[in-house]
């Protein structure tokens, strides 16, 4: 378990810190993948919503000027 650091001491790896989660020694990799997927999908929705709001706002300003 763990890996040797610069000072020759053994310490836990990042993956081992998260081994209490479901899927044990692979928990870090699995949950990191799913978290990344969630962030990407959420970002796509947030960006799409922001584009929509901005488009409506810009067009409203344009038409109210004319």
Partner 1 sequence: MWKWIQAFASPKNFYSISRKIIPWLLYPFIIITLVGLYWGLVIAPADYQQGESYRIMYVHVPAAWMSMFVYIVMAISGAIGLIWQIKLANVVAKVSAPIGASFTLLALVTGAVWGKPMWGTWWVWDARLTSELILLFLYLAYMSLNNAFDNPKTAAKASSILAIVGLVNIPIIHYSVTWWNTLHQGASVSSIEKIAQPAIHSDMLMPLILMGIAFKLLYGALMLMRARDEVLIQEQNSGWVKRIIMENGK
Calpha distance 45→58 (Å, rounded) = 20
**5/64 with CB nearer partner 1:** 64
> Does residue number 65 form part of the binding site for partner 1 (CB under 8 A)?
no
**11/21 with CB nearer partner 1:** 21
Calpha distance 64→5 (Å, rounded) = 65
Calpha distance 30→38 (Å, rounded) = 12
Could you say which residues in the range 2-61 bind partner 1, by CB under 8 A?
A: 15, 22-26, 29-30, 32-34, 36-37, 40-41, 43-45, 47-48, 51-52, 55-56, 59-60
């Amino acid at each position: 378990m763990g890996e040797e650091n610069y000072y020759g001491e053994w310490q836990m790896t990042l993956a081992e810190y998260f081994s209490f989660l479901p899927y044990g020694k692979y928990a870090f990799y699995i949950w990191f993948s799913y978290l990344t997927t969630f962030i990407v999908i959420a970002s796509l929705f947030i960006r799409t919503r922001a584009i929509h709001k901005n488009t409506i706002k810009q067009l409203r300003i344009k038409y109210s000027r004319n």
